[in-house]
Structure 1
Amino acid sequence: MGLLFMSPAVPGQENPETEIVYLSGTGPDDGVEWDFFCTAGRQSGMWTTIKVPSCWEQQGFGAYTYGVNFYGKVSDPGISAEQGMYKTRFDVPARWQGRRVKIVFDGVMTDARVLVNGQKAGPLHQGGFYRFSYDISNLVRFGEKNLLEVTVSKESENASVNLAERRGDYWNFGGIFRPVFLTSFPPHYIGRVALDAQADGRFRAEVFTGEALDDGFSVSAQINDMQGNTIVETFEELIPRGSDRVVLTAHPAHVRTWNAETPHLYRVTFALKREGKTIHTVTERFGFRTFEIRKGDGFYLNGQRILLKGVNRHTFRPESGRTLSREQNYADVRLIREMNMNTVRMSHYPPDVTFLDACDELGLYVLDELAGWHGKYDAGVGRKLVEEMVVRDVNHPSILFWDNGNEGGWNEELDDEFACWDPQKRPVLHPQQDLNGVETMHYRSYGETQEYLRGRDIFFPTEILHGLYDGGLGAGLHDYWEMMRTHPRCGGGLLWVFSDEGVVRTDQGGRIDNDGNHGADGIVGPHHEKEGSFFAIKEIWSPVVLLNKSDSVPAHGEFLVENRYDFVNLRECSFVWKAARFRAPGDGEAGHTLVAEGSMEGPDVPPHGKGILKMDMKGMPAGADVLYLTALDPGDCELWTWSWLLSGDKRIPADRKRIAPDILETEDEVVVRRGGREIHFSRKTGELSHIAEGAKVLSFGNGPRFVAFRRSDRHPDGWVDTEAPTGVDRTYRDISGESRLTRFHATKEMENVVVAADYSGVLNRVRWIIAPDGTLQLDYSYRYDGVVELMGITFQYPEEKVISKKWLGAGPYRVWQNRLQGTCSDVWENQYNDPVPGETFVYPEFKGYFGPWRWVQLETTEGRILMATEKEDSYFGIFTPRDGRDALLYTFPETAVSVLEVIPAVRNKVNTTDLVGPSSRAQHVSGVQSGTLRFHFNLH
């Protein structure tokens, strides 16, 4: 039933529109207090009040259960199974006398018994995520107070419902968690409408009345666009005597089709008439579009092949559980689209209807899913829930597929039930199985994905690159996507998962609980904190791609662009360029200052085509350090911003006063003095040990040392020991070896002091030049021949003394070898942080690997450390990135401040690094590696 409009009654005549009165709020922000009694757990055994809608755990009642901890169990003493008893009194307007009245529940977890004025409203409803209603016309008292009583059982009496809905990898909640409202309409009424609107303009509507009707009834329809312009004048059909169904058809000549890139919508208003008089009207929003699966080929929308790129998404917020507002649902859609995604899967149950409204309006393709995580509904309750799901959602143009369960949670007896209620006959999928010519297998390795793509059916994995903390998702996606998007039988892929499902535990002081690693799989945090993968995905899935992107701006300002849109010509997009100068290390602020800017219209490049974007280089001012180029979609939203460094920008601060350094040698040290500052080197190791100035000490030193790691199950030639104990693939061992000092000396050269050390072993030579302006230059070389997953040089510094870092380079997020995308060149800054993955959510992370870079400045309690590089393709490491408490991704040897030629890849929750593509592989290195660093120190 269309429930889009609410109108007051027209005095003196019957109102033909459906009227709606909410008995609850519409979301977590406007809940209405009802009386409530909880039978067990917190605040149980007494009558009090609760906000409706809500998940009662989040209101301080009952107990928490994470479903998968009781996987496959019909019952268990540890499963919270409390009941909630609700009461509220409500008014029914006297003017509704003679009209039909229904009470509608948008979602109740899990079983619901409903009484109105002490009488049963209808049969027990089972299934937590579905809209259901009862006709209570004969139970209510018009113009008086009425009593509504609802008994909600968190665990269903039907074991199959519990196995399908409540033993999954997500939090179980209880309660009336979606809105409750009354609807009122005339005695003869339109019960529901199911639409089929094709891309060529063919329109077909199946209109069902509430009951079989006599002679003299008809249904008319009129189609308008969203601006109110009439597209199809009124057309009408008589309802056959004794029927409750009529079919209306039309065929407008020119329609604007719906797709996720240009989501054009229309409204159709139906009128039920008796002897020509309108007695009931219903309005539905819809879109003209044709979706088809061409077996052995791909997915086609409106005749155009499309690739689905997107994510799985739970209905969730930390404070309110599964109770969301309209604004929150729209925000989710906007955030998904911000990552340049076009698809969302409803894992693992139907969403709020306002989420589907947002997908229709803003543009996202949807896989709408019947619950069934691994367990499945029995046929009896399953048929009822399929009906409720499809009847509610059938007219949303965003829905391309119905999912019958997940990963074995499908009852095959239900596969044909979807088409009973859907005139479009949308295809049905079994996520993680091959059905209807679509193979949806989950979490295949890179090599296995290649094998699946060689099959005859379309490969469309509905879960890939399982996130965990900072692993998976964007890490490895570039390799997968470059393989998948170019394959003739790939339908796309969906990442797991949109956000962490960390709940605010009202029984534990409000801490956010992901149930260990179970819920910590998101691209964004529980409050939608953007993690590094967010921006990597945004760049990888940008529909506008620069094919000749390199370290330098192309000659004559001609950029070769590829249009990966399916429907939009790039002439509908625009581009903005900015030339800027970076702030210097000593400036108080990070970022850059704008020098010049301009804009360009997009070139005429059709979908899936290539062309030239021409930028007028004459407008480029001299002296700029960086060029930014931003692609904007037709709605002026950023698709991606690319950056090019235009200058070396080796501006390293020096002391204003020049003081020639001298040398002081002791039995244990070589000390280079420059005024009151002393730079101490160890005779035993040849390493810088610390810097001092009077009583002040800067504890930067114990380096440079060569450092290298390799996975603990990897042999020196690169192959992996498949018989290694479980978990060894997640640990890394130090393979740096020993470099023995063979020669160490300090000399004066002109105004400088040179301190040099030669080694046998991997580290070859270290040469320090201390200049009169207070700068230090370090030249170093080493040679390692073999397989590594981290390699470079490192210094030590106490982590507890670090306050912040500022750097010129790629940022602001750290990178991994298999996640270099998602950054931009600028001067970035962030304060020290050390969040525990899955428990605290501070981004960007301070620790990890960053680059490419030009300089980095550490602010510490002892002073300031500035380090700059001459290389343009290296990385700097700041301490050891923290894994979750369960160490499921990596355990690295400890490092502090490092300059690296090789950085590690990061695995995902399912696959180790050697299984997720070329960019994740260990590196074979050989020959001499050398570099030059420059330092400047200030002591506090």
Structure 2
Amino acid sequence: MKLKNLLFLTILFLFSTGIFSQPTEIVYLSGSDAANTVEWDFFCTDGKNSGEWTKIPVPSNWELQGFGTYNYGHDWRNEEIKLGKEHGLYKHEFETPASWKGKTINIVFDGSMTDTEVKINGKLAGEIHQGAFYRFKYDISKLLNYGKTNLLEVDVAKHSSNESVNRAERQADFWIFGGIFRPVFLEVLPETHMTRTAIDPKADGSFKAFVTLNESKADYTFDVELFDLGGNKVSGNVQAEISKGETENWISGKFENVKEWNVEWPQLYDMKISLKKGNDVLHQVTERIGFRTVELREHDGIYVNGEKVIFKGVCRHSFRPETGRALSDSDHFEDITLMKEMNMNAVRCSHYDPDKRFLDLCDSLGMLVLDEVTGWQDSYDTIIGPKLIKEEILKDENHASVVLWDHGNEGGWDFANEKTYQELDIQKRPVIYPWLLRNGVDTHHYPEFLYAVNRFTHGNAPFMPTEFMHGLYDGGHGAGLNDFWNEYETSPLLAGAFLWVFADEAVLRTDKEGTVYDSDGNHAPDGILGPHQEKEGSFYTIKDIWSPVQISPVTINKQWNGKLFLSNKYIYTNLNKCTYSWKAIKTGFGDTANKVLGQGQAKSPNAEPGETAAVQIDCSNALQNADLFEFTATDYNGNELYTWSWPVVQPEEKAAEILQELEFGNSEISVNESSDAVTVSVSGLEISLSKNDGTLLSVENSNGDVSFTGGPIPVGADSEITGTKWEKDGSGNFIFTVSRKDYPRKITWTLEKSGLLKLEASHLIGWMKDIDYIGISFNYPEEKCTGIKWMGGGPYRVWKNRLKGATLGVWEKEYNNTITGESFNNLVYPEFKGYHGNLYWATLETTESPITIISETPKLYMQLFTPDKPQHVAGGTYPAFPDADISFLYEIPGIGTKFQRAEIMGPNGQKGVYGERRGDENDAIKLWFDFRSN
């Protein structure tokens, strides 16, 4: 065969097989994300560093690059605050190959704040775009100089000339930035091409697609192929025809043996749609899709693939302190990973359309997405609104993760604009209104616990508050969630909830001296995480409550039968897909490390979603000398769902063991009296007690003073002293007794000849209510405390309504003065100060001598100093504390949210009530103190 003929046949084969196909070519003019930027020329018209041409990275928000004026969305209400209404002027040169001539070239902006005018080589690309968070594009084919350099000029106005845009976006409860904050790129398309490929893939493998063309000069065919993510073609293909002159068409078909997409098993495919003229492939578009079916069933719930979905979600702003709303791929990945670590399965994109790359990751990692058009509490008008909704749909319509549209937020809607969703979204996803009962879903925000009169648990519509448990500082989020969730799960209409909000939004102020992170008072420190994704205590509470594996309440002791009952809270997954492991642990004390006495795997139970099954653990031998039992559930991807722990021994058992180790020495105790004190000494330890009330006046060991004094003082109850006395018992130990009229009726100090000091405060008596806290307290200078090691719930502090997530174990942390939601320059977690639960023992590390305290009292709380009060407390976010440094308490308060007191947020947030009958054998507070210099 002649070479010429061979070459011709080869070229013909390549065209016919699609190897010479023409996909859309993407050419970035900016960087691809905030971590990969390109410098453009830049001029800021007002504010910091304005009035001269310089450089700026694109994408970025110009405030974070040192330009313009910082504003929070509420600033418009304050006449004393300057509103930055600067423009940012951009210039950038780029080359276009001569080979592009005859093709369609679109310039695409993924996000620009807010009114954006675009010129190419001095000529307008089209009308000014209004709206900050949306993808828009211009056909600039006729404006380009092919084979030459082209000049792009962009004028970005921070505030819009359209007042509805300003009300919806610029006067909102979030930071207001300016700039081209998402990528800018060119779409290079063949002369005849597809302009839209909207796909509706169903769970059974069927699909329909709506395809539009830019022009129609002949008869064409569409060829639809499906590939798994390994590039393997799924058998079968679908073809359709479109006649000359027609520019839109529907395609439908079905692929067999495809796997459905769901939030737990997010199976994706690439659907390739080829536009062909005869055997020539004119254009190819590949869309990554998931086959799934979304339904809203009236008076029932939201279903995906025939299964009712419970959204365990969070509201998320696109935000980082140093880059504002300009994010990197790794930022998106980190956010989703942290959500999934909390056992969340859903995210609400508040309060604007998200970056496409975020949705790509939600598709592939498995998250249910509420995709939102902006409108904080005011709406776009009926001219701009439909345009922006259209842009939202065209960008996001093929994402499997997007299952619901949010039409604005809290009044930020014009109902007339909803028809745009109905007209354009071929999947006909439900449209909801955050804070309304509308379109069949009740999304009321921030309900009180008893909010159920014809709504929510007592209503007749699926319910899911799209903002819930409003965080502020350390309040909200996990605090109260268990009460709400237990109540909500009693209703078949539960559709889920979305916590407000994912992370604190403290922005780095480049306009201030030093490193200043600003959350605009209490407007933006609402997160479960800090601004750099630091984990607050509620992170672990949510992880516990929303774990898809739940364990029925159980007491584990040395006689335990080894049986746990596991409830399956998944939507699609059998518990036999997960793995389960256990450990029996002997806890260390002092410098002794924990020791694992036994460990193993539990057989995975066969339990479908909604079922409960037992697992049997053969650990009886290991438990005989253990203090703790741990059980870990791990999902099918190897990620920990949660690790639970239970005490095997009671505090008095552990105390007896520790005391046996500590009771060394047997010296005689000397007693000296002064006018107001009794001083007792033994083996280099000297303790002075007040004759009047038995409180510690001073402690001194061979190293010097130990400043642990001023107690025991009853806190939470008034109690009059009726008498004091002291003596040595028959063994030579010193006994000091205080009698009181009310709680505690009797306090007894016992100094043993070993040098150990015991305190017993008799149990609660009588009847009490409205208890914030009750117990006994002491003083110790905070500045002398350097750290703590303890056995109890940890490592984070607890509140009465946020006990879950604090795991029983041996923990250690250094002193810090973190104010959650405020100490942004030095957020050290876990916070040092606050209430700690289920105390067994604790050793305070100090600049003097270590102080060891051992409890024999079950479920005793310890107050470890009082957290500093944030500057802008609101709602119930600063609970009561005893006026003391170190306290030992039967009861502690709950914490509320930004808007609500703890008492109205569920039973565990209510103040305590106590009642006693004569003859009750309630627990006294029994503590041992080791002040000796070891």
The bucket for the TM-score relative to the shorter chain is over 0.9
> Following superposition of structure 1 onto structure 2, how do residues 689-704 of structure 1 map, counting pairs within 5 Å?
689-693=697-701, 696-704=704-712
3-state SS of the aligned residue for 1:165? helix
Residue 764 of structure 2 corresponds to residue 790 of structure 1: no
Q: Pick from 203, 206, 210 the counterpart of residue 206 of structure 1.
A: 210
Q: Which amino acid aligns with 1:800?
A: E
Cα drift, residue 705 of structure 1: 1.0
Q: Which range moves more in the overlay, 487-496 or 688-697?
A: 688-697
Instruction: Give the C-alpha shift of residue 696 in structure 1.
Output: 1.4
Deviation sequence 1:510-530 (CA, Å, 0-9, x none): 211110000011011101110
Relative to structure 1, the CA distance from residue 866 to residue 618 in structure 2 (aligned partners, 3 Å threshold; closer, same or farther) is closer
Q: 1:939 Cα deviation (Å)?
A: 4.6
Moved more, 226-235 or 55-64: 226-235
The counterpart of 2:285, out of the listed 282, 303, 306, is 282
**CA offsets, 1:124-174, max 9 Å, x none?**
000000001111111111222111100000000111000001111100000
Q: Is the 8 A contact 2:360 2:399 kept in 1?
A: yes
Give the Cα–Cα distance (whole angstroms) in 1 for the partners of residues 231 and 151 of structure 2. 41
Shift in alpha-carbon separation, 1:450–1:663, aligned structure 2, 3 A: farther
CA distance in 2, matches of 1:106, 1:577: 49
Q: Which of 906, 913, 918 is 1:924 aligned to? A: 913
Corresponding position: 1:222 with 2:193: no
Quick one: structure 1 residues 266 and 655, their matched pair in 2 at CA, closer, same or farther if it must change by over 3 Å? same
Q: Work out the CA distance in 2 between the residues paired with 1:561 and 1:287.
A: 31
The answer (yes or no) to whether the contact 1:879–1:894 under 8 Å persists in 2 is no
| Match of residue 638, structure 2, among 636, 640, 664 | 636
Counterparts of 1:409 and 1:553, CA distance in 2: 59
Q: Over aligned residues, Cα RMSD in angstroms?
A: 2.0
Residue 429 of structure 2, aligned match among 415, 426, 429: 426
Determine if contact 1:661/1:772 at 8 Å carries over to the other structure.
yes
Q: How far is 1:551 from its partner?
A: 4.8
Is 135-144 or 153-162 further displaced after alignment?
135-144
Structure 2 residue matching 1:95: 3-state secondary structure: helix
Q: 1: distance between equivalents of 2:703 and 2:307?
A: 73
2:238 paired with 1:256? no
Q: Choose between structure 1 and 2: higher strand proportion.
A: 1
SS at 2:391 equivalent: helix
Query: CA distance change for structure 1 residues 621 and 901 in 2, over 3 Å: closer, same or farther?
Result: closer
From 741, 747, 755, give the equivalent of 1:774. Answer: 755
Instruction: Note if 1:556 corresponds to 2:561.
Output: yes
Deviations 1:489-539 (A, max 9, x none): 121111111110111111122211110000011011101110011000110
Aligned twin of 2:578: 573
Q: Could you say which residue in structure 2 is the equivalent of 1:4? A: none
Distance 1:499 1:883 in 2: 20
Query: Residue 28 of structure 2: which of 17, 22, 25 is its match?
Result: 22
Going from structure 1 to structure 2, the CA distance change for 1:439 and 1:621 (only over 3 Å counts) comes to closer
1:490 aligns with 2:494: yes
2:889 aligned with 1:886, yes or no?
no
Structure 1 residues 460 and 554 mapped into 2: Cα distance closer, same or farther (>3 Å)? farther
CA distance in 2, matches of 1:224, 1:303: 25
The answer for the alignment partner of 1:743 in structure 2 is 724
Alpha-carbon displacement from aligned partner over 1:381-432 (angstroms, at most 9, x marks no partner): 1111011100000001111111111000001111110122211111111111
1:307 and 1:485 in contact (8 A); partners too: no
Describe the SS at the equivalent of 2:654: coil
Q: Quick check: 1:199–1:302 contact (8 Å CA) kept in 2?
A: yes
Match for residue 352 of structure 1? 355
User: What is the DSSP-based 3-state SS (H/G/I as helix, E as strand, rest coil) of the residue aligned with 1:101?
Assistant: strand
3-state DSSP class of the match of 1:702? strand
Name the aligned partner's letter for residue 414 of structure 1: N
- Specify the SS of the correspondent of 1:555: coil
Q: Which runs of 5+ in 2 are unaligned?
A: 1-14, 917-921
Give secondary structure in 2 for the equivalent of 1:403.
strand
What SS does structure 2 have at the residue aligned with 1:863?
coil
Within a 5 Å distance, the mapping from 1:609-624 to structure 2 comes to: 609-617=611-619, 620=622, 622-624=624-626
| Mean Cα deviation higher: 782-791 or 824-833 | 782-791
Measure how far apart 1:832 and its partner are.
Answer: 1.0
Mapped partners of 1:566, 1:119: distance in 2: 54
Task: Summarize the Cα distance change of 1:451–1:890 in structure 2 as closer, same or farther, 3 Å threshold.
Answer: farther
Partner Cα distance (2:427, 2:445) in 1: 27
Partner SS for 1:242: coil
The amino acid of 2:473's aligned partner reads Y
CA contact (8 A) 2:236 2:255 kept: no
Shift of 1:76: 9.2
Taking the aligned partners of 1:649 and 1:302, their CA distance within structure 2 comes to 52
8 Å contact from structure 1 (residues 403, 431) kept in 2: yes
* Partner in structure 2 of residue 511 of structure 1: 516
Within the alignment, does 1:521 sit opposite 2:526 as a pair?
Answer: yes
Which AA in structure 1 matches 2:682? R
Instruction: Give the stretch that moved more between structures: 501-510 or 897-906.
Output: 501-510
Instruction: Find the counterpart in structure 2 of residue 394 from structure 1.
Output: 397
The question of whether the paired residues in 1 share the 8 Å contact of 2:819 and 2:867 is answered with: no
Q: SS of 2:218's equivalent?
A: coil
Counterpart CA distance in 2 for 1:252 and 1:233 is 7
Letter paired with 1:824:
T
Query: In the alignment, is the contact (CA less than 8 A) between 2:483 and 2:908 conserved in 1?
Result: yes
- Counterpart of 2:5 in structure 1 is none
Matched ranges for 1:765-914 at <5 A: 765-781=746-762, 782-783=764-765, 785-787=767-769, 788-840=771-823, 841-888=827-874, 889-890=877-878, 892=880, 893-914=882-903
In structure 1, what is the Cα distance between the partners aligned to 2:890 and 2:60?
52
Counterpart of 1:731?
Answer: none
Q: Residue 582 of structure 2 aligns to a residue in which SS?
A: strand
Change (3 A) 1:128 1:233: same
Are 1:934 and 2:917 counterparts?
no
Task: State the secondary structure of the residue aligned to 1:458.
Answer: coil
Q: What TM-score do you get using the length of structure 2 for normalisation?
A: 0.93
In structure 2, the residue corresponding to 1:464 is in which secondary structure? coil
Q: Please, which moves more after superposition, 348-357 or 828-837?
A: 828-837
Q: Is the 8 A contact 1:558 1:614 kept in 2?
A: yes
1:267 aligns with 2:270: yes
Paired residues of 1:312 and 1:497 also in contact (CA < 8 A): yes
1:607, CA displacement in angstroms? 0.7
Q: CA offsets per residue over residues 173-195 of structure 1, 9 Å max, x none?
A: 00000001111121001111111
How far apart in 2 are the matches of 1:263 and 1:76?
Answer: 51
Tell me how far 1:703 sits from its aligned partner: 0.9
1:408 has 2:414 as partner: no
Go from structure 1 to structure 2 and tell me whether the alpha carbon gap of 1:335 and 1:27 turns closer, same or farther (over 3 Å shift): same
Q: Distance in 2 between matches of 1:271 and 1:619?
A: 66
Structure 2 residue identity aligned to 1:208: T
Match of 1:62 in 2: 68
| Residue equivalent to 1:6 | none
Q: Which moved more, 1:441-450 or 1:395-404?
A: 441-450
Aligned-pair identity in percent equals 41
Question: What is the distance in 1 between the residues matched to 2:287 and 2:407?
Answer: 26
How far did residue 891 of structure 1 move? Answer: 5.6
Query: How far off its partner does 1:355 sit?
Result: 0.7
Q: 1:140 aligns with which of 139, 144, 163?
A: 144
Pair 1:231–1:384, CA change in 2 (3 A):
same
CA distance in 1, matches of 2:294, 2:488: 21
SS of the aligned residue for 1:195 comes to strand
Residue 720 of structure 2 aligns with an amino acid whose one-letter code is S
Match of 1:332 among 325, 331, 335: 335
Q: Does 1:654 align with 2:638?
A: no
- The 5 Å alignment of 1:455-466 reads 455-466=459-470
Q: 1:713 corresponds to which residue?
A: none
Q: Give the distance between the partners of 1:283 and 1:440, measured in 2 at CA.
A: 36
C-alpha spacing 1:13/1:263, structure 2 compared with 1 (3 Å)? closer
Deviation of 1:741 (Å): 4.4
Q: CA deviation at 1:738?
A: 4.0
CA separation of 1:780 and 1:621: change in aligned 2, threshold 3 A:
closer
